[in-house]
């Protein structure tokens, strides 16, 4: 697990809210504080889907579905006073990271998580891993941390490790 301070707030929020870079990630939960507090439970409401809709493959909505809603809440003349999003990395990227660690299999991983928080004019990102069993082996965690830092570097987002 690492804690990163995002120095390029404008660039990262553009990556988060405007571009489709994170579309396949699942949003587990979110909170946005503007003129009101908006709390988002990313769990899919399966009764909402009809027989003609595509069957939900996951319990959670992708960012692709929820990003436009969050963008509408956040956009405007004033910055939000706070937001927090908890994302789980998509299956394809998770499998790619797990393949770099010989002692883990994709079915061992409950999730690789990104916690993104904006508060007091500071934007931070925390990584987290969840496995289906306890281990002291941190190779998967370190591989995920390298992936996140590489992702930010690839998208030219200035950050610092705290």
Q: For the whole model, what pTM was predicted?
A: 0.90
Contacts of 131 (CB under 8 A, 6+ apart): 104, 108, 109, 110, 140
For residue range 9-55, list pLDDT tens digits in order. Answer: 999 999 999 998 898 899 999 999 999 999 999 998 888 877 666 65
- Which pLDDT does position 53 carry in this prediction? 65
Q: Is 62 helix (H, G, I), strand (E, B) or coil?
A: strand
């Amino acid at each position: 697990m690492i804690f990163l301070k995002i120095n390029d707030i404008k660039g990262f929020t553009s990556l988060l809210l405007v571009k489709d870079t994170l579309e396949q990630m699942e949003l587990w939960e979110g909170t946005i504080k503007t003129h009101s507090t908006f709390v988002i439970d990313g769990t899919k409401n399966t009764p909402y889907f009809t027989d003609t809709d595509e069957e939900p493959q996951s319990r959670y909505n992708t960012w692709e579905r929820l990003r436009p809603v969050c963008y509408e809440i956040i956009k405007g003349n004033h910055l939000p006073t706070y937001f927090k999003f908890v994302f789980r990395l998509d299956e394809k990227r998770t499998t790619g990271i797990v393949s770099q660690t010989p002692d883990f299999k994709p079915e061992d991983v409950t999730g690789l998580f990104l916690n993104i928080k904006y508060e007091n004019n500071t934007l931070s990102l925390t990584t987290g891993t969840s496995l289906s069993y306890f281990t002291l082996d941190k190779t998967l965690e370190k591989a995920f941390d390298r992936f996140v830092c590489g992702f930010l570097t690839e998208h030219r987002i200035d950050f610092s490790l705290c």
